[in-house]
Copies of this chain bind each other. A is one copy, B any other.
């Protein structure tokens, strides 16, 4: 493990502040104070406030895209695929607690890369929906509107970042298996 660069450190601290107050409410002076330097000094390491937000969000979005690509190409059953998706969210969320907040709350403040982000998200949702539709065809999954099922599962998974840090001793394995129970048993026939 290479030590964190100053830039990465700034981005990490920024993500934490963004989680607490939201992107728009965090000023470069807030960020500088949290780093114990002056606002102008930040610009030795980063290009702009926008850039910080972009690198936080896009990096996570791409992790999800990659993860979904693995799931898509596995030849597990649809229920197994759902479990893989749950594990993916637990993994990505637990290693990006602060970034997930920015992704969920502040994606609309992306500018140059807004459309790219939206494409990643809608592709992800399409893959998700297709898994559900296949599962319904195969008789593995309840024949309820796939969009409602997807919405229900996905909003829970997308909000994990709110939840994981609350419990002192989150056992991620246990959380994953609890979510498997709760989310799947409502979907499986």
Chain A residues within 8 Å of chain B by Cβ, number? 35
Identify the stretch in A31-39, A42-50, A62-70, A151-159 within 8 Å (CB) of chain B at 4 or more residues: A151-159
| Bound complex: CA A107 to CA B146 (Å) | 31
Q: Is the CB of B24 within 8 A of A152?
A: no
Write out the residue numbers on chain B whose beta carbons fall within 8 Å of the beta carbon of A183: 152, 186
Q: Is the CB of B178 within 8 A of A182?
A: no
Instruction: State the copy count for this chain.
Output: 2
In the complex, what residue of chain B is closest to A151 when comparing beta carbons? B163
Report the minimum CB–CB distance from A182 to chain B (whole Å).
Answer: 5
A-B contact pairs, 27 of them (CB 8 A): A21-B109, A22-B23, A22-B24, A22-B105, A22-B108, A142-B181, A142-B185, A145-B178, A148-B175, A148-B178, A148-B182, A149-B182, A151-B159, A152-B156, A152-B179, A152-B183, A155-B155, A155-B156, A155-B159, A155-B163, A156-B156, A158-B159, A182-B187, A184-B186, A185-B185, A185-B186, A186-B187
